[in-house]
Structure 1
């Protein structure tokens, strides 16, 4: 009997893939560069080729797999297996992804938004394990999110549920790629942290390595901002304070509506660990309704880069159980 799944995490620069057991253990994993040239038309053929080659060269056969799940950075028509568009991949038009992959590989295929998929990964095998109500927020180049309520991933009426990155935290604030202003994504993503640092440096009059770097137009990254804050840089600490205020406020608003057991913070920015988590928790508690504040916990994600492939595999497993 087929006891394994295939998980695919399609990103703008890298596509991660894995063979995963039905218990959520990674059996083997690999990645290929995502070729976004020619409007992304090579992406799906490259995935098909790579999965085929790995099945052939492994001890597994196609019969050992129940199905394939994939996370994609863009809005999805889940019912028809279509990616509506994905700017990072060069996909400006609708992409009939499911039919292409299903026909080529002969296995059931299901896809969802990458942030939803990462949240399923943490829910299944990571920081959200054992809880039926979990919110996941991922702080990377942008800010994504996923909401699991009563053990079910919420999509909303048009697939827009869990868009935590577009909670407004600063009315009339920075202009977001989505067209509105003041979105969390513009403050708490890796690029947002850099933007806040550049703005705050203009008005800062004290002594600071971060201020020197900004004045000399050195390359400032969010990782560097958190590192400097950790090492006592006054301006860097002020930047982290502002960023975590916005993040704590947004997460409190989400928790006041959903009251999940855990809000899990993942993505590259979460590598700052307690330097991010402690002040965010403080601002969260200041802004959360008392009953929510006392029951919802903020936690750091545990699966790192594996959340996407594990979550994608769990998509395939869920699909099998409901069909």
Structure 2
């Protein structure tokens, strides 16, 4: 049998796992439950057991495994040390070395958003590019920065935490990080809903949004239907995110911004509002950056994790 590797994406409810050949082709993928009880002490053992079971099922000798990559939700240092993963209950420890000891397989670890960005660069929305910024618009706003094909992690693994760029001085509510006025409060799925609720409070403009449950999807559906208030909300969203990406561009100078996460399901109309405000404020040399939607969906994490070891 040819050599293989594993890609692992640890989420708050499930761990996604993939078996790949060295060209990055998915040979198999599966999931296990993330057991977060007792501060997540079972998670890595469960992963190790699942990998061993898969190797037995597929008759894979350990000598044929090039390694395993793992993406985890928290800042990860270059040596594989995670500095905290609150939703898993983890404190500071070396994820890579711990999983290596449990499996006998070489392991590389990275932040989950950075790893997903690597996956999108390799096989998704950033394919063919070496300088990529990925933005994930979900419950929060995550990001990953790839320069010359390599993840930029920074000293503490916190590079790419773009959701916590300060964008609004007048914000009174506190972000999950403890600060006020973060991009995450304006451009995440929950952030767009907040913008909509505020807009409906201060404006008496008629809108179909007033007669339905507000979600990022319903807002952009109404934008497509030319609802004036929805368009106003999309403009505000686009201004916050587009301007923030201008600031990121003058530091990273990417070829492409890949937009993923649940909000990106709105489709290309989302990119129009982001790019409009990006083009207004971008430094001239950075204006050629492209905007694309993520293509790998839930597989970005396992594909990027595999790429970590290849």
Give the TM-score normalised by the residue count of structure 2.
Answer: 0.93
* Aligned match of 2:154: 156
| Distance in structure 2 (CA, Å) of the matches to 1:189 and 1:266 | 11
| Distance in structure 2 (CA, Å) of the matches to 1:257 and 1:302 | 25
* Aligned match of 1:195: 194
| Distance in structure 1 (CA, Å) of the matches to 2:307 and 2:126 | 14
- Secondary structure (helix, strand or coil) at the match of 1:271 reads helix
Unaligned runs of 5+ in 1: 318-323
**Residues 17-61 of structure 1: per-residue CA shift (max 9 Å, x gap):** 100121111111111222222222222222122222222212433
* Aligned match of 2:299: 306
* Aligned match of 2:229: 235
| Distance in structure 2 (CA, Å) of the matches to 1:44 and 1:50 | 10
- Name segments (4+ residues, structure 1) moved above 6 Å: none
Q: CA RMSD in A?
A: 1.8
Structure 1 range deviating more: 123-132 or 69-78: 123-132
- Paired residues for 1:173-252 under 5 Å: 173=171, 174-213=173-212, 218=213, 220-252=214-246
* Aligned match of 2:16: 16
1:108 shift after superposition: 0.3
**Residues 128-166 of structure 1: per-residue CA shift (max 9 Å, x gap):** 222222111111111111112222221223322222112
| Distance in structure 2 (CA, Å) of the matches to 1:2 and 1:116 | 28
Structure 1 range deviating more: 174-183 or 62-71: 174-183
* Aligned match of 1:129: 127
1:2 shift after superposition: 5.2
- Secondary structure (helix, strand or coil) at the match of 2:24 reads coil
| Distance in structure 2 (CA, Å) of the matches to 1:233 and 1:63 | 60
Structure 1 range deviating more: 150-159 or 248-257: 150-159
**Residues 166-204 of structure 1: per-residue CA shift (max 9 Å, x gap):** 222212424222222211111111121122222222123
* Aligned match of 1:321: none
Unaligned runs of 5+ in 2: none
Q: In the alignment, is the contact (CA less than 8 A) between 1:262 and 1:296 conserved in 2?
A: yes
- Whether 1:39 aligns to 2:33 is no
1:256 shift after superposition: 2.3
* Aligned match of 1:84: 83
| Distance in structure 1 (CA, Å) of the matches to 2:283 and 2:98 | 48
Q: In the alignment, is the contact (CA less than 8 A) between 1:2 and 1:63 conserved in 2?
A: no
**Residues 53-110 of structure 1: per-residue CA shift (max 9 Å, x gap):** 222212433332100000011012331x22221112122x224422332122110011
| Distance in structure 1 (CA, Å) of the matches to 2:60 and 2:221 | 44
Q: In the alignment, is the contact (CA less than 8 A) between 1:209 and 1:233 conserved in 2?
A: yes
| Distance in structure 2 (CA, Å) of the matches to 1:90 and 1:221 | 29
